Amino acid sequence: MNREAPDLCVRCGKCIPHCPSFRFFLQEGFSPRGRNFLFARGITSKSYDFCLFCERCAQVCPYGLSFPHTYLQRIFKSESLEYPYFENALSLLFLHPKGRYLYKKFDESIFDDYATGDFYLYASCGLKHLYPSALFQFLEKIKTLKLIPHLPSGQDCCGIPWVSLRSYQTLKRHALRKLELFSERKPLVTFCATCYWVLKRVYPLLFEGEAESESILELSERTFFVTEFLESQLGLSLEFKGDPKILYHLPCHLKSPLTSIEKGIKNKFKAQDFCCGSAKPTLWLRGFQKEFFRLWKGKLLGKKILATSCTGCYLNFSLLLKRPPEVKHWMELWK
């Protein structure tokens, strides 16, 4: 029995107060319970697009039901829309009046010095073009451990924009590229919570029942978020800059059951756990993030730095906020 099927929902309502989109709309159809009811009966609803894929519903459901899991599992088998392949999805920032100022140029010739190594380092769009200083600081610190990261050239986007745009063949192209780039059986480390979620959860669903399924699952199993890798695999005790004017943000895609680090992060950082509103392009076109902003802006009062570890969150915060606070990646504050 598929324990995540929507018809197993007992409509207890435990998921409702935890759902960010329900808290915004305050309508049953925009809750996980409402979506499960509609989806199980084949009823089309615009509320599906407003699911932010945070999977908070699965964390509190007695049956562990995840609406994003069920939804993606089914739509990946439907017709794929045609969109062009972009190696770097953040190049689309140049279409946004403020976005072009966020985009940082990145010289990939640095990869020549890391053509082989002890573990793979995924140089995602965000790591290269939003917070590259997090990468450079990591490379300097990892030298002291006598470890060498492997940074293959030609790394591309994880493909998350194509999920909400329903271009599954383009998404598959991104996934298959990962199999080529990270073919050796050694750990793959990512700095982005959403890339981590895509590699761990989305790719296996995308290739379910297909020839590449086993290889995708194997890649997923050796994927680690950077702090998880440093602590659980290398045995380090991480320390980060502490200041009452720094707010550490815990992205949705680092919450359990994907990682075992949520409690440690909250204790270490006193991290604030809230949803940024998702960076889904379909919701940006609707202006949703600008409205959702009011649910979390009060948490930033008196803060000079907002530190997150997700490209989507980093992007939303940077596009919606004026300094202060300055938006940074966690690893930029690693002591």
pLDDT tens column, 189-219: 999 999 999 999 999 999 999 999 999 999 9
The 3-state DSSP class for residue 121 equals strand
Site of tokens 């006598």: 146
The per-residue pLDDT for range 318-330, each reduced to its tens digit, is 999 998 999 999 9
SS3 per residue for 25-78? HCCHHHCHHHHHHHHHCCCCCHHHCCCCCCCHHHHHCCCCCCHHHHHHHHHCCC
Which residues in the chain show pLDDT less than 70? 1-4, 256-267
Q: Is 123 left (phi over 0), alpha (psi -120 to 50) or beta?
A: beta
Largest Cα–Cα separation, the chain: 57
- The predicted pLDDT at position 209 comes to 94
CA separation for the pair 160, 259 (Å, rounded): 19
Full-model pTM: 0.93
What are 224's strand-pairing partners? Answer: 189
- The predicted pLDDT at position 273 comes to 87
Sequence-ordered alpha helix ranges (H) in 157-304: 161-164, 168-181, 193-197, 203-206, 213-221, 226-228, 262-269, 281-286, 288-292
- The predicted pLDDT at position 1 comes to 37
The 3-state DSSP class for residue 306 equals strand
Closest to 48 (Cα-Cα) out of 167, 163, 151: 163
- The predicted pLDDT at position 88 comes to 82
Closest to 239 (Cα-Cα) out of 249, 227, 251: 227
Q: Cis peptide before 324, with omega less than 30 degrees from 0? A: yes
- Output DSSP code: residue 198: I
